[in-house]
Copies of this chain bind each other. A is one copy, B any other.
Amino acid sequence: MSARPLILVTNDDGITAPGLRTLISVMNLIGDVVVVAPDSPQSAMGHAITINSTLHMEKVIIDGKQPEYSCSGTPADCVKLAVNEILDRRPDICVSGINHGSNSSINVIYSGTMSAALEAGIESIPAIGFSLLDYNWNANFEHCKTFVETITRQVLENGLPDGVVLNVNIPNLEKNAIKGIKVCRQARANWKEEFDKRTNPMGRDYYWLSGKFVNMDKGEDTDEWALENGYVSVVPVHFDLTAHHAIQNLNTWKLNN
C-alpha cells in the first residue's frame, strides 16, 4: 500500500447523485480517489451485468478534484471496468453509495449499491456499501460523514475476511440522535407487493410495482432492529449463497435410486 490508500468510489444512483458527492468528499480525507460510476440511475439492478450489449465509458470532469469516469453499465460493470481497464493497480478499498434509500435486510439482494460492493468482494477487494434511509434526491447526507469516515478507516486498519463486504445503513435522524454503530445480521423481511394496475391511452393494461415492507424478524441482533432503535447498522455480507444448514437434510433424500 502506498502512503495514501487508493479508493475506488462508485454507486447506483448515477455519477451526479448528491449521495456519491458526499461519499467522495469523505474519501478525499482518507486517500487517493478514483470515481467510476453509472451515467444514469441503476437502482434495483441487483447483480446485473452487461453481456449482451456494449459498454461505453467517458472520462468526465465534475468538480475537478479526482479522476472520474462515467460508465454506461450497471454498478457491477463499473467495478469490473475500474479494476480491469482504468486503475493501474488494485484499489485498497471500494466504497459504494451513499445510496438514496435503505439497503437493509432483504433490500440487499435488489441493491445496485451492494452489488458493486459484492463485485469488489468477488475480486478480493475490501468493500463497503453505504445507504441513508431517505429516498429523496435532495436528502441531507451531512450527518452520514462521520460514520462513513469511521467505518472506512476501520476497514482499512483491520481488513476484512476474503470475500466479506460491509452493508452499512444510516438512519435518517439528527446526528446526535444516533446512538452509535451496531454490527448486525440481516433481518428476515420481505416486500408485500401491491401492483398498481393502470390502463394506457391506447387501452392497454400496465403495472407499477409497489409494495409494503414487512419485517417478520423480531431479533434484536438484526439490522432492522438497530435502525428502528437509532443505530447505524453494519452487516457483513458475502456471495456464498449456500444454505449450509440444509445440506445434511438434503443428503437423506432419494435422489439416486
Contact = CB atoms under 8 A, between A and B. Distances in A.
B77 A186 contact: no
A133 interface: no
A55 interface: yes
Contacts of A163: 188, 243
Contacts of A54: 198, 206-208
Interface string A199-237: 000001111110000000000000000000000001111
A183 B245 CA distance: 12
A136 interface: no
A interface, over-half SS:
mixed
B154 A253 contact: yes
A118 interface: yes
Interface string A228-257: 000000111111111111110111011111
Contacts of A247: 183, 185, 236
A161 interface: yes
A234 B255 CA distance: 10
Nearest to A196: B54
Interface stretch (A25-33, A45-53, A90-98): A45-53
A47 B47 contact: yes
A77 B191 CA distance: 13
B236 A161 contact: no
A46 B115 contact: yes
Contacts of A137: none
A51 to B, nearest CB: 5
Interface stretch (A2-10, A15-23, A60-68, A79-87): A79-87
A89 interface: no
B185 A242 contact: yes
Given A109-B118, A236-B250, A242 B161 contact: no
Given A44-B50, A56-B205, A236-B243, 13 more contacts: A45-B48, A47-B109, A47-B110, A84-B194, A109-B241, A150-B255, A154-B255, A160-B246, A161-B245, A163-B188, A180-B256, A237-B241, A238-B241
The 7 closest A-B pairs by CB, nearest first: A46-B47, A46-B46, A236-B246, A237-B241, A181-B255, A236-B243, A238-B243
20 contacts: A44-B49, A44-B51, A47-B110, A48-B110, A54-B198, A84-B194, A84-B195, A85-B195, A85-B197, A85-B207, A108-B241, A123-B190, A150-B257, A151-B255, A161-B243, A161-B246, A186-B241, A234-B255, A235-B242, A237-B241
